[in-house]
Structure 1
């Protein structure tokens, strides 16, 4: 959150943070009032005892002092409760937003990034916001409220003390800035080390079977140990700076309070300052420095969350740009042709597709075939706006932005990508309400009628066979096409896990669905699908032949 103490994007993307700051400001002000009141009644008690007043005479002041102390404790507890609950709600809101943002940005965006790094950011990184909300922000709120209020009170009571505090108080922010620069540098290195550790461990786990086959699994032990040791040393560097900074800030605050105390003592001796005023001011002085000192001390507790939130906000900003483009989408005619003209797709120096032009007609089943690496998935990715490309994608003669193209298309990839929940919930994924009638209709088109829509699946859709999972994934695409009246349906290898009989049922479903006026596009190697298609687009490296 480099844009000041509080990044404006936090307030924009997490509404709970705005409520926390508002409620925290109110509680912080009330806590400051109790600080002033406690100092006032404590002064009255001490001066009364020195003047020889009886216990009975001091009873009112003592009761008031006790009440104020209890009230202050309640307000401190209440601010802690607000911080914990605020952190939980903010983390929940940011996680929901970032997951939705990743889905909106698409698989091409995710393919260019380290999945372990993204996972670490969304999970452990956002968990580090607990320190930011529970320790850093409460002190920041108190600094913004308590320090000005206490300075105003001191100005009305003792001008000399107030001037000393005003002069010495900026020393603490100065040390905080210097320490913050050092902390930011080592914190970034620590965060990078954590991501390397997560990525390295994930790579080893993913490739463990291959490593064991070739007898290389033991060599990864030293690699993981090295990355772990690097993360440990980075963490210790952060802790060293944290301890040193704490000492510096405490020293600066203590010396400043000592200067005030010496000044008050000298003036009490020569009689130019009344005991009541001197004692009251002396009790308030440490409280004037305390919030700012605590901000510096707690900055380290917030550092992990700040580092992770920067990446989270980067994802949300990218998704916001995509959403802005989608909001400008023009109304398009239905029953029109989706056209791809002079399409080119390159990955670095390698050209996958060059000058390809195709027409996807409504009511027509079009198959896209070709050897591996010919660009079938790249063509689909370009239509969906998931890969950068040259050329144009248009519908009804109107050029489409990637966001507009995705609104027109219902799509199912090669992997089912199911999740825990019922089959019906997986099919209607993304819908506000599950329409059981559309679920049944989609399952008929996908040859999945024998699957129980009420069946509860485990993590990653466990509980279904490979063929069943693929058909449920296909039914999800049919559901979207029906529920949102998508004029184009694209299926990538839809029958790769199906037997011939089930594949024949699926082909009938595709033909019936195309008869409703939808352009059905199938990427496949299977002969049965290619024979049943009305049109076949055969891709070869940098060559496209339509038949």
Structure 2
């Protein structure tokens, strides 16, 4: 990632305001630095000349004011950087989450969920160091350093020339060290991603591993990956300390060169003390922004690496053109018209035609691998397709998603209470509606206050499945969705519980909702108004 990636301005509008405010504060800080050097110079020179304290009181008062102003400006710069960084990180994270939704499962298929979580979580948090430490110094380098060089050159041309010749040495060292640091940081980020993926896989498979007594075998793997990450982190730290030493040495030698030249000219009488002292006080300040950029670069590299990964996702999402809202094919239910879904040049579904009218309970039944889940994903706008799909009078993907309440084959439960999982996405959940949804999903025995772990840990497969159905039913009522789609909702249920859930679905369909259930179960097929297949569409008399 470049020091300031243009995509940061594109995806986080607050960056422009942060840069502008930082430039103004840096300009004021530069003026305060020049004023401080001038006041100190005048105090020393006039003091040596024998001026009395009353004669110097105005200069002392001005110096106190400048010192206070520098402190206030320093606090203001840090506060603005921290606040601006928080706003920018919030905007980027929101854009990233929106990009996940726009890309959908198909667009994210080649990316690890652990990597995406790492980028959106810790990666975005790591940008705080970029905005709080690195970016202010980058602005100071672009604003303060040229102004100070001009002031020094205006006062003493020789010192100005020495600065112009020596200042480029620091960026050269920064580039050389930066290449090595960037490569080490990428390896560290890759090690962290590997650790995250490995740990997530172990946690996901822990019940199976425990069942077969193999859980301890993973300890060595986690320990090895953790040690690799620790080792790479220490390498980055070593480079950070080494580069800091190199930059400090280069800056110190450059300032010393200026000081020697000024000292020799002062002894020779070719330079006035006021000019020499003024230049000596400003010379370290001219090098300071570059030194700070080098020192802060290492604090920002992790965030910059994460931002580069985030921009790849955002760029991919930007290529997904939004669909226009189009009226449905004359029906407010669920309509498929000549729908074809292709994966890697192969048709998963070809020319599918079906209509689930309001008040209809339809069951989609076909052999495994015949494209049932692909049709559901296409209806939700998660996979590309040809043909037309309409839900609730809308053909655009966002409109269809707004019209559909859906539960997939995997419950996808989050750590928290059952009530929080059922009302997921509702800013003001209704306790009565949560309980009603659980009862309708044949899960009335589950308490909404019961706490479950990630992926429904603590619940049986059937219970987790019914909580997911309850979430769909809660959304159905809370948002008045005209379409309900359930993918294998009874595969883990016993006959009695399945009968109860089928009765609920029958009542929901009779209330005017278009209900589509993907299932092979005989109880659902027997209760269906229409039996759909990726090959054949047939009506079933009730």
Q: TM-score range by the shorter chain?
A: 0.7 to 0.9
Match of 2:283 in 1: 285
Match of 1:304 in 2: 302
1:395-420 Cα deviation digits (max 9, x unpaired):
39x99565554344332223444557
Match of 1:168 in 2: 166
Query: 1:336: how far off?
Result: 6.1
Equivalenced residues, count: 535
Q: Quick one: structure 1 residues 342 and 412, their matched pair in 2 at CA, closer, same or farther if it must change by over 3 Å? A: closer
- Which of 359, 368, 375 in structure 1 is aligned with 2:354? 359
Query: 1:522: how far off?
Result: 0.4
Q: Secondary structure at the match of 1:53?
A: coil
Output the CA distance in 1 between the equivalents of 2:98 and 2:374.
23
TM-score (norm 2): 0.85
1:66-465 pair list within 5 angstroms? 66-322=64-320, 324-326=321-323, 328-332=324-328, 334-335=331-332, 338-341=335-338, 343-346=340-343, 353-355=348-350, 357-363=352-358, 364-388=360-384, 391-395=386-390, 402-403=397-398, 405-419=400-414, 429-430=424-425
RMSD, aligned CA: 3.6
Structure 1, 359-368 or 204-213: larger mean CA deviation: 204-213
Q: Secondary structure at the match of 2:178?
A: helix
Contact 1:339 1:393 (C-alpha < 8 Å) held by counterparts? yes
Contact 1:420 1:456 (C-alpha < 8 Å) held by counterparts? no
The alignment status of 1:477 with 2:475, answered yes or no, reads no
Query: 1:174: how far off?
Result: 2.7
Output the CA distance in 1 between the equivalents of 2:127 and 2:423.
33
Structure 2 segments unaligned to the other structure (5+ residues): none
Q: Quick one: structure 1 residues 434 and 105, their matched pair in 2 at CA, closer, same or farther if it must change by over 3 Å? A: farther
- Which of 524, 530, 533 in structure 1 is aligned with 2:528? 533
Structure 1 segments unaligned to the other structure (5+ residues): none
Q: Quick one: structure 1 residues 22 and 55, their matched pair in 2 at CA, closer, same or farther if it must change by over 3 Å? A: same
1:264-312 Cα deviation digits (max 9, x unpaired):
2233223232111111111111111110221122111100000011122
Contact 1:392 1:399 (C-alpha < 8 Å) held by counterparts? no
Query: 1:385: how far off?
Result: 3.2
Q: Quick one: structure 1 residues 366 and 23, their matched pair in 2 at CA, closer, same or farther if it must change by over 3 Å? A: same
1:173-212 Cα deviation digits (max 9, x unpaired):
2332232222222221111111112212222333334334
Q: Quick one: structure 1 residues 421 and 241, their matched pair in 2 at CA, closer, same or farther if it must change by over 3 Å? A: closer
Query: 1:366: how far off?
Result: 1.3
1:73-93 Cα deviation digits (max 9, x unpaired):
232233223333333343344
TM-score (norm 1): 0.84
Output the CA distance in 2 between the equivalents of 1:459 and 1:86.
35
Output the CA distance in 1 between the equivalents of 2:192 and 2:482.
45
Contact 1:422 1:456 (C-alpha < 8 Å) held by counterparts? yes
Query: 1:367: how far off?
Result: 0.5
Contact 1:38 1:65 (C-alpha < 8 Å) held by counterparts? yes
Q: Secondary structure at the match of 1:113?
A: coil
Query: 1:480: how far off?
Result: 4.4
Match of 2:30 in 1: 32
Output the CA distance in 1 between the equivalents of 2:304 and 2:290.
19
Query: 1:17: how far off?
Result: 3.6
Output the CA distance in 2 between the equivalents of 1:339 and 1:155.
75
Output the CA distance in 2 between the equivalents of 1:86 and 1:419.
31
1:122-173 Cα deviation digits (max 9, x unpaired):
2222222222122111211221221132223224322332232223222322
Contact 1:360 1:519 (C-alpha < 8 Å) held by counterparts? no
Contact 1:356 1:544 (C-alpha < 8 Å) held by counterparts? no
Q: Quick one: structure 1 residues 132 and 205, their matched pair in 2 at CA, closer, same or farther if it must change by over 3 Å? A: same
Output the CA distance in 2 between the equivalents of 1:211 and 1:509.
37
Q: Quick one: structure 1 residues 458 and 218, their matched pair in 2 at CA, closer, same or farther if it must change by over 3 Å? A: closer
Structure 1, 193-202 or 155-164: larger mean CA deviation: 155-164
Contact 2:333 2:483 (C-alpha < 8 Å) held by counterparts? no
1:364-417 Cα deviation digits (max 9, x unpaired):
22102245444322231233232355x423339x99565554344332223444
Q: Secondary structure at the match of 2:182?
A: helix
